[in-house]
Each structure stands twice: as structure tokens, then as C-alpha cells.
Amino acid sequence: MKNHFKSNLFTLTKKHKTSLKITALCGILGTLFSLNAFADGKLTVYCSVQNTTCEKVTQTFSKKYNVETQFVRNSTGTILGKIKAEHNNPQADVWYGGTLEPHLQAADQGLLASYRSPLQKEIMPRFNQLMQQRGDFISIIYLMELSIGINTEKLAKLGSTEPQCFNDLLDPVFKDQVQYADPRVSGTGYSFLTTLVQLWGEEKAFDYFKKLHGNVSQYAKSGLATANLSTGEVAVDVSFMHSYVREKDKGAPVKGILPCEGIGYTLGAASIIKGARNLDNAKLFIDYVLSKEAQEIPWREADSYQLPTNIYAQPSPKASDPTKLKLIDIDFIRFGSNEESKRLLEKWFEATKADN
């Protein structure tokens, strides 16, 4: 009886060990299979940040995860238009960069896929509520403060002092010397519009744009169009601070000034396009661009100085100190609404007659 018990015990123990080995092996194979599923394949990225940043981030992601990654760079408004036009046959998997509001509009129009990355927990606490409300479709990856860019040499020729406030740009000395991005096609221009509406209310904001129109040389088609400022073709530009830091680094007589009325800003976003052909890799890419590593690439490798939103990521020493910025409160949900955006853009056009 004892021998029979021992024999059965031995048999059970042997079977149990064998079962454990098989379970462990299955676990290892499952892990390897899972990693392999994320470690090959393709990814196409629509990119709305500087070309060099697009290149560096996608290259680093590609090498890290063995994913064949390509990008197409265009302005935020242009990318939104492409996603709309391609909604029945998406040509890209991910939208990386560009201002938050067009991403929100894309979500409202059913153009984005739902994915809430676990790395959203590392986004600045200031934006917790926004992420709770819209984080199913959008992830915040950087912050850019709106500022007044000046060409110091051109100002000297004009005999003008440095403007410190948005209202200073109405001075007749700046006739045909001001440039800002067309908000109908540029997220940067739309951020200028929404900043003033948030600061002053619609009546005062659109009265300002109407008056400013007389001093505007051109409405640039991209928020990255700072070349005219650097060469002195215009004396003043309204865009994000990081653009002026980069131009100054290149040796241009350019300076960024935070306006006295209050510091508006925008948030850069990343999202997955609905119908993405490479959905698993798209999710992996979103996780990656939310990480400390990825958010330091722009300033470490691409001379781009957006402020990272990951609480563990270091900003560039050349950038503003995010803890000292007195940012205004911006209603991104309101301004990210497709209906509200359309209404405000029509009102801006009526005030400026920008095509004339």
C-alpha cells in the first residue's frame, strides 16, 4: 500500500513538474510571440512637427522596435484634411504632433481609433482633467507657449522699440511688417486666435484682428514659416517660442517675447487614425512618444525646444522653465469642437478678409 502510494505520488509529482515546465515554456513562448508581434512590421506616421524631429523620432522608434517606419510631414490643418479625405481608405496609422484642437476635431468626426496609453499617467497633473475627458483618443506630448517673435535688426532700422504686448503690434510703425499663420490651415494660427478669444472675449478679439490686418504683410500657410522673420522680410511674427530659440541658434537676429497680456499656449498631441492597418505598432508608437526618452529627442537631437509634458522628461536648458510660466486657462474642449472651430474661423475671415 505504501509502495503504491509512493508510486502514485511519484507519478503525480512527475506529472506536476512536467505540467509546470510546459506552462513555463508556454509563458516564455507567449512572451516571445508577443514581443515579436510588436517588434516587426510597418508603420506610417503623419507628422506635424519640424521635419528633423519627425525624422529623428521615427528613426529611433524604428531601430528600438524593429518596425519599418516612414513619415509624411505636413501642417496640422493639411494633415486633418488628408485624414478626412482618406477616411474610407486610411493611408497612415498615426498622427504625431500638431496642435491639440485639430486632433480633438478629428476625434469628434469619428476619424480616430480609441486607445488610452498606460503612459498617460506620466503627463503633467495640470492636464489630468483634459486627459480624463479626451484621453481615449488623444495623448498630450508637448507644450508650446505663444510669443511675439522679433527681428532686432529690422526693428532698429524701423526705429521701433521691442513690442512687449499683442496690442503693441497695432502701432503704425509695423505696417506690412507683421506675419502670423493663417488659422484656417495652421494650428499655430488657430492657437493665436483662441488665445485672444480666451483672454479678451470674442468682440474685443475680432476687433483686434480687424485692426491688425492693416499691419499684416502675409498670413503664412504654416506655423513653421519663420524664415521671413529671420531674413528681415518682416519685423514681427506671432508663433511659438521654440521657433525663435531655434532661429537664434542658427545665428539669426531673432528674439522671442512672452506677451504682457498673458501667456497663451497650445498642446501637441498624438493619436491613432481609425482603420490603421498596423494597429499594434500604432499603439506602441503612442506609448513611445509619451515616454521620457522620446520627449527629449526633439531638443537633444533636432534643435527643437517644445516643452515635454512627461513629468520625468527634462526640458532643454534653452527653453522656458515650465514651472515659472504663468499660463492662462484655455478651454481646449470648446476650441477643439469642430462646430466652434468652424464658427470662429468664419468670424476671423470676416474680420480680416484674409484673401484680399
The H helix count followed by the E strand count for the chain is 14, 11
Amino acid of residue 273: I
Q: With H, G, I as helix, E, B as strand and everything else as coil, classify residue 170.
A: helix
Q: What is the pLDDT of residue 224?
A: 59
- Chain-wide mean pLDDT for the chain? 88
Confidence of residue 3 (pLDDT cuts 50, 70, 90): very low
Class at the top of the CATH hierarchy for domain 42-143+267-319: alpha beta
List the single range of 146-155, 216-225, 286-295 with lowest mean pLDDT.
216-225
pLDDT at 92: 98
Region 304-308 average pLDDT: 92
Question: How is residue 256 written as a grid cell?
Answer: 522671442
What pLDDT, in 10s, does the model give residues 178-214? 999 999 988 889 999 999 999 999 999 999 999 999 9
Average pLDDT over residues 57-80: 95
Q: Which of 3.40.50.970, 3.40.50.720, 3.40.50.150, 3.40.190.10 would CATH assign to domain 144-265+342-352?
A: 3.40.190.10
List every span in the chain annotated with CATH 3.40.190.10.
42-143+267-319, 144-265+342-352
pLDDT digits (tens, 9 = 90+) for 240-283: 998 899 899 889 999 999 999 999 999 999 999 999 999 999 99
pLDDT tens digits, one per residue of 39-55: 479 999 999 999 999 99
Grid cell 512627461 in the structure block, residue: 310
Report CA-CA distances (Å) from 52 to 25, 49, 57, 88, 145: 44, 8, 9, 30, 20
- pLDDT class of 321 with cuts at 50, 70, 90: confident
- Say how far apart CA 346 and CA 343 lie, in whole Å: 5
User: Is the pLDDT reported for residue 28 higher than 80?
Assistant: no
CB-count exposure of residue 173 (10 Å: 0-12, 13-18, 19+) = middle
Angle value at C-alpha 254, between 168 and 235, nearest 5 degrees: 45
Say what the pLDDT of residue 4 is: 44
pLDDT at 223: 58
> For position 7, what pLDDT does the model report?
41
pLDDT in the model for residue 251:
94
Measured in Å, how far apart are the chain's first and last C-alpha atoms?
Answer: 104
Average pLDDT score over residue span 62-68: 97
Q: In which band, very low, low, confident or very high, does the pLDDT at 35 lie, cut at 50, 70 and 90?
A: very low
pLDDT of amino acid 185: 85
Instruction: Give burial (CB, 10 Å; 0-12/13-18/19+) of 21.
Output: exposed
Q: How confident is the model at residue 324 (pLDDT cuts 50, 70, 90)?
A: confident
Q: What is the pLDDT of residue 326?
A: 86
Strands 178-181 and 216-220: parallel
Give the pLDDT confidence of 222-246 residue by residue, as tens digits.
655 688 899 999 999 999 998 899 8
Q: What is the pTM of this model?
A: 0.77
For residue 16, pLDDT beyond 70: no
User: Is the per-residue pLDDT at 75 higher than 90?
Assistant: no
Instruction: Give me the residue label for grid cell 505663444.
Output: 146
Using a pLDDT cut of 70, give the percent of the chain over it. 87
